[in-house]
């Protein structure tokens, strides 16, 4: 393709170098895990975000041949329950399906697939950002340094409170672990979002191949729609702003290309119709996690908005001195990128609804406004700074970016080291259970459930287990994001977990006060994390009292029928979080099957006698 040949050899080499640097950053936690575990490594992937195991569990379910509508935590699928509503994962299926299909072709499991996804997506993201900057600036070396800065600084939480607080708390470097690398989203969709911007600019640059670029725009937008909400909405907001600016300042060009532009707009609109149908078929309890907030309050002081404003002011100031031409396509391109934060953070003024806007700050507009600012800064450097001095500035920017990215990656890897080591040790136990299941034919009964008896809700094994074995778990922090359990069902499962661990009335009050994951499960995610709901609504003493009464009633009413409802097949315990076996032994017979690295796994069989009588 001619447009590929037009990219200079230096730009190609530097884009590959940038890709390799960020692949290394992405793999740093994994390399750290490999170094710590050595030959004892059990095949687990190192997480850099606590949501990643839930995505990996879903990917594994697709690798195992389950339909898109399924919950790996309960074993329910659209085949066993045809009326199963859509979940976040089945609506955004392109975030997981490609990884699962490639894994099936290569014969690898979800854990290995997540490691490969981390390296490949980071490589493509860095390469895409460099090419976009090169298209805007024409300077390969500057684009290389700017790419590293954009992807490093953009990974900070660009919300004013968190941005400045991170420095006060000494967590600034921890927050520089690149957020675009989170698997499966936005790792899958982020390179596509960058490519979407690239394709639109090429569409106006290379009108002779307008049909090709139009097809690329439509295809990339389709991928964004069914991959990640916060990316396709950013893409839609940006292309709308860009189209309006082009219509105002370059009306003749828009009219010349009106047939193709109308075709692009129509195709993008049509692509949204199936998406809307999927969203309207979602489970109602999903909204307790993906909280909508009714508000019309403007939101104008986010850091990404301030950066966009600064970049726009620099453009208009430069236009007075001939540095920028307001009717130039690239200038309008940059201004439209700066408009996006104001659109996505203030659309509620018209719609009356806002939806977890902090995701835009972490995963989307933080990067796009920095790309614009770097392109604008280059124009000033190119005009007002001598070439030799500019080159030194480019070198300094590159070194600073690599240093900050390296430090952020190392600090994050160290922070998550205990969790990743624990998860890998647990993977060995899970694989032993898997071998036992395979020796019995590998088919579990519909009522079989695995119970993780840890007297602490912070251990991630409940989320991890479906990666290794297709047996439902009693409870998982991410169980609620699927569509098969109501809030009442989730609370009942948490109560069963607490009861079987021997948690009494005094202990549950202490656990609720001290454990955010437990509060999130019992009261909803928005009550624990105000960023999800947009408002601070702390749990009241009255609610705590009512919950304690509900748990007390559950304990008093627990009988053989309820024990049968949660028919447990395996129990896994951890020596660092011991539990009482009194309630377990009251309803089940325990047989120890494996002891490994602090973990114990038991085979459970429900007793036939009702000991409550």
pLDDT digits (tens, 9 = 90+) for 301-328: 899 999 999 999 999 999 999 999 999 9
What integer pLDDT is reported at residue 410 of this predicted model? Answer: 84
What's the chain's average pLDDT?
88
CA atoms within 13 A on the CB side of 253: 17
pLDDT at residue 151 greater than cutoff 60: yes
Residue 278, CB-side half-sphere exposure with 13 Å CA sphere: 19
Q: Which two tokens stand for residue 483?
A: 């569509």
Tokens representing 246?
A: 């082009």
Whether 86 and 483 have beta carbons less than 8 Å apart is answered as yes
Q: Which residues pair with 473 in a beta bridge?
A: 450
How many Cβ atoms are within 10 Å of 561's Cβ, its own excluded? 9
Under the banding of pLDDT at 50, 70 and 90, the label for residue 112 is very high
For residue 58, the model assigns a pLDDT of: 96
Give the confidence band of 241 by pLDDT, cuts at 50, 70, 90.
Answer: very high
Mean pLDDT value of segment 118-128: 97
CA dist 76 and 69 (Å) reads 9
> What is the mean predicted confidence (pLDDT) over 485-492?
86
Q: What is the pLDDT of residues 502-515, one digit of tens each?
A: 888 888 888 887 78
> How large is the average pLDDT for residues 463-491?
87
Which residues sit opposite 355 in a β-bridge? 292
Supply φ then ψ for residue 571, to 5 degrees: -125, 130
Candidate from 111-125, 280-294, 456-470 with smallest mean pLDDT: 280-294
Whole-angstrom distance, CA of residue 369 vs CA of residue 304: 7
Contact 455, 42 (CB under 8 A): no
pLDDT tens digits for 342-378? 999 999 999 888 888 888 988 999 999 999 999 999 9
Cα pseudo-dihedral 185, 189, 191, 195, rounded to 10 = -160
Find tokens 């053989």 and name the residue.
560
Structural Rg of the chain based on CA atoms = 26
Helices (H), 440-465: 461-464
CA distance 134 to 260: 26
Helices (H), 472-559: 487-500, 505-514, 516-523, 525-528, 530-533, 541-557
Q: What is the pLDDT of residues 255-277, one digit of tens each?
A: 999 999 999 999 999 999 999 99
Residue 197 corresponds to which tokens in the numbers above? 């911007």
Q: Is residue 596 predicted with pLDDT exceeding 50?
A: yes
Q: Give the per-residue pLDDT at 285.
A: 66
Nearest 10 degrees: Cα torsion 428, 430, 431, 434: 160
What's the predicted TM-score (pTM) here? 0.92
Residue 589 in tokens: 């017979």
The pLDDT confidence band at residue 286, using thresholds 50, 70 and 90, is low
Higher pLDDT, 23 or 520: 23
Cα 401 to Cα 150: distance, rounded to the nearest angstrom: 8
Q: How far apart are CA 125 and CA 368, in angstroms?
A: 12
User: What sign has the CA pseudo-torsion 389, 393, 398, 403?
Assistant: positive
Query: For the segment 412-458, what is each residue's pLDDT rounded down to a tens digit?
Result: 888 899 999 999 999 999 999 999 888 876 555 545 788 888 766 55
Specify the 3-state DSSP secondary structure of 565.
helix
**224/188 Cα distance (integer angstroms):** 9
pLDDT at 553: 92
Q: What is the model's pLDDT at position 346?
A: 95
CB 182 within 8 A of CB 435: no
Task: Please give the average per-residue pLDDT across 227-248, as a whole number.
Answer: 97
Confidence of residue 56 (pLDDT cuts 50, 70, 90): very high
Sign of the CA dihedral 150, 153, 155, 160? negative
Check: CB of residue 151 under 8 Å from CB of residue 63: no
């Amino acid at each position: 393709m001619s447009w590929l040949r037009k990219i200079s050899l230096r730009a190609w080499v530097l884009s590959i170098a940038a890709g390799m640097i960020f692949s290394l950053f992405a793999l740093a936690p994994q390399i750290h895990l490999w170094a710590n575990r050595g030959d004892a490594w059990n095949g687990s992937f190192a997480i850099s975000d606590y949501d990643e195991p839930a995505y990996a569990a879903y990917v594994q379910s697709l690798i195992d041949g389950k339909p898109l509508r399924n919950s790996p935590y309960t074993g329910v699928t659209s085949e066993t329950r045809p009326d199963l509503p859509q979940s976040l994962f089945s609506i955004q299926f392109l975030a997981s399906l490609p990884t699962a299909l490639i894994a099936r072709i290569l014969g690898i499991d979800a854990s290995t697939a997540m490691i490969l996804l981390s390296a490949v997506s980071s490589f493509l993201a860095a390469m895409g950002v460099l090419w976009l900057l090169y298209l805007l600036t024409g300077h390969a070396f500057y684009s290389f340094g700017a790419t590293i800065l954009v992807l490093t600084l953009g990974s900070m939480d660009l919300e004013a409170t968190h941005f400045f607080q991170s420095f006060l708390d000494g967590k600034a470097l921890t927050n520089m672990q690149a957020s675009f690398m989170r698997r499966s989203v936005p790792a899958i969709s982020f390179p596509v979002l960058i490519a979407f911007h690239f394709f639109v600019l090429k569409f106006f640059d290379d009108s002779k191949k307008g049909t090709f670029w139009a097809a690329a725009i439509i295809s990339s937008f389709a991928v964004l729609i069914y991959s990640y909400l916060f990316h396709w909405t950013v893409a839609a907001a940006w292309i709308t702003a860009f189209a309006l600016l082009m219509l105002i300042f370059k009306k003749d060009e828009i009219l010349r290309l009106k047939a193709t532009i109308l075709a692009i707009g129509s195709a993008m609109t049509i692509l949204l119709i199936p998406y809307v149908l999927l969203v309207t078929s979602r489970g109602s309890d999903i909204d307790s996690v993906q909280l909508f907030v009714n508000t019309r309050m403007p939101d104008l002081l986010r850091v990404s908005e301030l950066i966009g404003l600064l970049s726009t002011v620099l453009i208009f100031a430069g236009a007075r001195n001939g540095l920028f031409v307001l009717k130039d396509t690239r200038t309008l391109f940059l201004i439209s990128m700066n408009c996006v934060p104001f659109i996505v953070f203030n659309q509620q003024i018209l719609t009356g609804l806002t939806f977890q806007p902090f995701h835009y700050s972490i995963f989307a507009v933080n990067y796009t406004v920095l790309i614009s600012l770097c392109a604008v800064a280059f124009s000033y450097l190119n005009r007002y700074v001598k070439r030799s001095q500019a080159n030194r500035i480019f070198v300094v920017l590159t070194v600073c970016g690599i240093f900050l990215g390296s430090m952020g990656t190392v600090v994050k890897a160290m922070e998550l080291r205990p969790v990743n080591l624990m998860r890998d040790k647990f993977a060995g136990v899970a694989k032993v259970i898997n071998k036992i299941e395979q020796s019995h034919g590998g088919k579990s009964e519909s009522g079989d459930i695995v119970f993780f008896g840890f007297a602490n809700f912070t251990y991630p094994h409940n989320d991890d287990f479906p990666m290794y074995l297709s047996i439902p778990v009693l409870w998982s922090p991410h169980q609620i994001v699927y569509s098969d359990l109501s809030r009442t069902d989730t609370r009942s499962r948490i109560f069963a977990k607490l009861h079987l661990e021997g948690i009494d009335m005094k202990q549950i009050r202490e656990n609720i006060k001290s454990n955010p994951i437990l509060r999130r499960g019992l009261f909803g995610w928005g009550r624990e994390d105000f960023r999800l709901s947009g408002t601070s609504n702390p749990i009241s003493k009255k609610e705590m009292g009512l919950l304690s009464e509900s748990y007390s009633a559950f304990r008093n009413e627990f009988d053989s029928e309820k024990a049968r409802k949660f028919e447990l097949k395996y129990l896994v315990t951890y020596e660092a979080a011991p539990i009482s076996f009194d309630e377990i032994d009251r309803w089940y017979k325990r047989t120890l099957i494996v002891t490994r690295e602090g973990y114990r796994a038991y085979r459970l069989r429900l007793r036939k006698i009702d000991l409550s009588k």
